[in-house]
Each structure stands twice: as C-alpha cells, then as structure tokens.
Amino acid sequence: MKVKVCMGSHCTLLGAMNILDQVEDLKNLISEDDNYNDEELEIDVLKCPGYCKNAKDNISPVVIIDDEVVFNATSQIVMEKIMKKKRK
C-alpha cells in the first residue's frame, strides 16, 4: 500500500507535515496490533503534482493512497482509509 503526501508549498502551509507525522506513527501502531497487516505500507512524499494550480477552490492538503487522490486531506481521514484497507 503506497501513501504519498504532497509537500508542495501550499500543502506544507496547511499541515502536510502533521499528516505525514501521524501516518508515520500509524505504522508503529499497526505493527504492534495483530489485527492489522503491516507489510508493505510505504509512506512517501511528493513534490507538488499541480492539482492546486488548476483548482478554483482550495484543495490542499493532498494525499494519494494507492490510486485514490484525497483532496482537503486530514490526518483522521487518511488514517481511517489506511486502517480500513489494512485490516486483516
């Protein structure tokens, strides 16, 4: 499972690093809980993929989980999606 957090300027301003911190902590949480499959959770950071340049309203922060692009991402939404997919 690949989670990519955008680290462009606008996303950084609106909390991308906090989302990254929490998702990284989640890795520890999952590895300690036998109900979750912790293999292959890859966390990466992205340079600005440019969604914000074409959007009319604010869409930052942006997080991409496998094929799904999450706009206005919050750590709780991102973590919930990860936990759902990871549950054995």
Q: Give yes or no for residue 77 binding another protein (CB under 8 A).
A: no
We find the least distance from the C-beta atom of residue 73 to another protein, in angstroms, to be 11
Q: What contacts 57, CB < 8 A, 6 or more positions away?
A: none
User: Which token pair is 19?
Assistant: 């989302």
Residue 75 host element (H or E): helix 75-86
Q: Give yes or no for residue 73 binding another protein (CB under 8 A).
A: no
Site string for another protein, 8-37 (x = CB under 8 A): xxxxxxxxxxx-xx----------------
Backbone conformation region of residue 80, classed left if phi is above 0, alpha if psi is from -120 to 50, else beta: alpha
We find the least distance from the C-beta atom of residue 23 to another protein, in angstroms, to be 12
Q: Which residues of this protein are in contact with another protein, per CB under 8 A? A: 7-18, 20-21, 45, 47-48, 57, 74-75
